A and B are shown apart, each in its own frame.
Chain A
Amino acid sequence: MILNLSSYRSLTGYFLGAFLAFATLPALAGVEEGSEKFVRSLADKAVHSLTTADTPRLERIKRFRELFRESFAATSIGKFVLGRNWRRASDDEKKEYLTLFEDLMVVTYVDRFQRYAGEALKVTKSRAENDNIATVFSEIQRPGGIKPIRVDWRIGTNGTIYKILDVIVEGTSMSNTLRSDFGSIVRRQGGKVAGLITALREKTEALKAEAQ
């Protein structure tokens, strides 16, 4: 709300708005409010740990790995991405898959995350999907009057921890895209998770070599 204090009318509007905000506060408390707070603090952390100028890329990747472990529900996303192939995988395969998945996410999302969760992030609204999941809608402001980018954060909570389940950029979901991508590899490898792990290993090794 833009306040124009010189106008009596907007002042009334301001008090009315403040009153309404207090009146509706109990309804807002819960999964939505907690998730909004989580996304805001995430943006702050991203600004502080990632956007310092002249930080070497490897150092930024290291810092982002910390942030990733802290704020992404990596196991939940990894399981969803694998779909029903998760059940088919052995315990060793699951473990290796999750490690490689983290590697891939960290190296490929370090730059994108900075773009989406940096200073330009403005939370617009939020919506509870159910008792444990909320969606926080945000806009990434861009200079020069270009249309802002829509980024929606799907946040999961168990009451004590909050974690990112999905990042949806202009309607495209990270988790669903990964699921199609990985699912296709498993299918083309004859339904074997081992084939996906080999492909993941090759990919992360190539990306790491590039990051050096």
Chain B
Amino acid sequence: MGINELVTMMVQTTFMNRDVAPMMFSRLFALLICALVMTGCATAPAPGDRDAVADFEEINDPFEPTNRGVFTVNRALDRLALKPAATVYRKGLPEFVQDRIGDILANLRSPVIFLNDVLQGEGVRAAHTLMRFVINSTLGLGGFMDMATAMDIEGHDEDFGQTLAVWGVPEGPFMMLPVFGPSNPRDTVGLVVDFLTDPLSIWAVNTDREYASFARAGVQAVDARSDTLDLLDDVEKSSLDFYAAIRSLYRQRRADAISNGKGSANFPAPGLSQSPLGPVLDDNEELSRSAFR
């Protein structure tokens, strides 16, 4: 089954009788395809060059020239709007206010997390998410206070991209989405399904209150960016190719999220026989130490 059919099927099952959503989705997809076609693709290496072919497959970024273009635009948008807003948010607002905003956003996300816990067959995690939602929506005054964490019911995140991964759908080539940032076809579908299955956005669409969705997405973006201010500055400062570093970090973060922190592509979980991909101790390690002095 191709990605397109899969998407159509999901949209149909999640959004029966609502014709606006598939239309929005197909527009987004069309926009994306246009962007990709406009700047073209990376040229695949000659089939004879084995090393180059291996590189090309490992990097799995056939739209790299386009992606880099989108990345440049995204960085400009970040510098102009998101980063300044996130900096004001982090430094200008009292910590108490930031915590309450974070708690409200997390509580609003609970239904989507719960749905994906269930779709992944994670019973205990689903129960935790449900308990958190009930506790925080009542005792926590409508999500205003994270009472569940105080009661040792810790939160976690899930999304439909992760669910697809658990179901065995491959990630596909790397994609840099305008505004949304690093992604791939699987996570792009996930992003759309998360939006379509979110109770708040369903309510907003059905009552012509789209602004509610936009407002929440805006606050969410600023809140999320404020968490990565130091991290992204660090990466930008220390990397030679910021784009390549972000591409690698995104994939590693997703692999970690999909395994719920129990192992990732380069860091296999216990029981997996494959050896971890990483450096091995060099025979000259002690010698090389003295060579530096």
Contacts and interface: CB of A to CB of B under 8 A. Distances in A.
Interface in A78-95: 79-81, 84
Given A76-B280, A76-B282, A173-B266, A185 B248 contact: no
Interface string A55-81: 000000000000001100111110111
| Interface class of chain A by DSSP | helix
B253 A176 contact: no
Nearest to B55: A187
B245 A181 contact: yes
B280 to A, nearest CB: 6
Nearest to B263: A171
Contacts of B292: 69, 74, 98-99, 102
Interface stretch (B18-26, B133-141, B191-199, B231-239): B231-239
Contacts of A76: 279-282, 285
Interface residues of A, number: 60
Interface in B177-230: none
Contacts of B267: 135, 152, 168, 171, 173
Given A173-B252, A177-B249, A166 B241 contact: no
Given A73-B282, A80-B278, A108-B234, A177 B248 contact: yes
A199 B242 CA distance: 13
A123 B248 CA distance: 27
B78 interface: no
Contacts of B38: none
B244 to A, nearest CB: 3
Given A165-B278, A166-B278, A181-B241, A112 B234 contact: yes
Q: Which of B51, B241, B253, B278 has the most CB of A within 10 A?
A: B278
Q: Which of B241, B244, B267, B281 has the most CB of A within 10 A?
A: B281
A170 B253 contact: yes
A184 interface: yes
A14 to B, nearest CB: 22
Chain B interface SS verdict (over half): helix
Contacts of B253: 170-172
Interface stretch (A16-24, A42-50, A154-162): A154-162
Contacts of B261: 150, 170-171
Nearest to A199: B240
B238 A108 contact: yes
A159 B293 CA distance: 24
Contacts of B238: 104, 108-109
Contacts of A98: 288, 292
Contacts of A109: 238
A175 B282 CA distance: 15
A188 B68 CA distance: 13
Contacts of B241: 181, 184-185, 188
B21 to A, nearest CB: 33
Contact of B244 (A130, A144, A156, A183): A183
A26 interface: no
Given A129-B276, A171-B256, A180-B247, A163 B281 contact: yes
Nearest to A200: B240
A109 B243 CA distance: 20
A157 B280 CA distance: 9
B275 interface: yes
B279 A73 contact: yes
Given A79-B282, A171-B257, A177-B252, 10 more contacts: A70-B289, A98-B292, A144-B95, A145-B149, A154-B276, A157-B281, A168-B267, A172-B252, A199-B240, A200-B240
Interface of B: 51, 55, 59, 95, 149, 154, 234, 237-241, 243-245, 247-249, 252-253, 255-257, 261, 264, 266-267, 270, 275-282, 284-286, 288-289, 292-293
Interface of A: 69-70, 73-77, 79-81, 84, 98-99, 102, 104, 108-109, 111-112, 127, 129-130, 132-133, 135, 144-145, 147, 150, 152, 154, 156-158, 161, 163, 165-166, 168, 170-173, 175-177, 179-185, 187-188, 196, 199-200, 203, 207
6 contacts: A69-B293, A111-B234, A132-B280, A156-B285, A181-B248, A185-B240
6 A-B pairs with least C-beta separation: A171-B256, A184-B244, A156-B281, A180-B248, A108-B238, A80-B279
